[in-house]
Each structure stands twice: as C-alpha cells, then as structure tokens.
Amino acid sequence: MKQRPEIALTEMQLCNDADVPLLFKLCSDATSSITATPAGSGCIPPRAEQRCFLTWRHPKYQQIQQEMKTPKLILVTNFVEQEIDNNQTVVTKLIARIHSKGESSEEQIPLMKFTFERKEAISSSKTLTPHTDSTATYVYLSFRFPSP
C-alpha cells in the first residue's frame, strides 16, 4: 500500500443473520473509481458472512485529497424468497470518506460491518448515526490512503 499512494482501501463485511439466502449488489457510477474484490455482487447463504475489499483509485496528478469528488455507492440487498416484491429490497447509500489518521494504526484497513436480518433491519458496527428516509439509509464508508 505504501508504494501506491493513489490507492485507498477499505474492507466490507456483510453478515446474513436470516434463515434464507441474501442477494447483494454494489452499484456505483462510472466516475467513482471504486472497485470491489473478489466481487461486487453475490449471494450470502443463511447465517453466513462475506467480505470484500473496496479499492478507491485517484489520479496521480491529483495530489490534494480535498480536490477529489466524493464517491458514492449503493448497496442493494434482497432476501431470496418464493415471492419477491419491492418492499423486501433494502437500499443502503454509501458515501466514501478519507479515514482520519488518529482513528487507528497506519497499517490497519478500515472495516465496515453490515448485519442484515429478515425484519429488514440494518445495523452497522460503526458508531455512526445513519440518516434514514423512507427509501434508503445513508452510511459513511471509511477509506485509508497511505502516508506519503
């Protein structure tokens, strides 16, 4: 990570606490420059979890982090059941931010954990208070750039 100062990382852990499989998909616009590894979509078995690493790339010529446009992602989840309607789909809007230096050690990659229950309740392991409206939950997703 120290050799690539234009790359920031974060880890996302998705936990399915239900007795049915959970479909998920991460969506972003083409200008966000965020990729997911190993995959940005999939199916999480009942009572299981899946981790993915998100990589945020910014151009080498863009030296000042304040100049960067804030990337936004959407996490769409839906429990697999016989009948699926729009009321079962949960949309979580993720807004990327730079991780402050004082929050953890230099080498640690920030982790954001989401737990999904069948009651359509979403809880985040971070001590953030997400803003909720009738259709979506907004959560800040922390990324860490290496020190120059």
Model confidence at 85, pLDDT cuts 50, 70, 90, reads low
Phi, psi values for residue 86, rounded to 5°: -65, -20
Dihedral (Cα; 76, 89, 137, 135), 10-degree rounding? 120
What is the percent of the chain with per-residue pLDDT over 70, rounded to a whole number?
A: 61
Name the CA radius of gyration of the chain, rounded: 16
Reference 41, options 31, 50, 29; nearest CA is 50
**Residue 12: pLDDT over 60:** yes
What is the C-alpha separation between 3 and 20, in angstroms, rounded?
42
| Ordered domains of the chain (ranges, CATH) | 7-143 (2.60.40)
Beta partners for residue 68, in sequence order: none
With 0.85 as the threshold, say if the pTM is over it. Answer: no
How high does pLDDT run on average in the chain?
73
Beta partners for residue 122, in sequence order: 116
What is the C-alpha separation between 93 and 138, in angstroms, rounded?
5
Q: What angle do CA 117, 120, 122 make, to 5 degrees?
A: 70
Instruction: Give the tens place of pLDDT for each residue, 37-74.
Output: 999 999 999 999 999 999 888 766 555 555 567 778 88
**Residue 113: pLDDT over 80:** yes
Phi, psi values for residue 88, rounded to 5°: -90, -10
- pLDDT of 50 reads 94
Tokens matching residue 28: 């972003």
Tokens matching residue 54: 């998100």
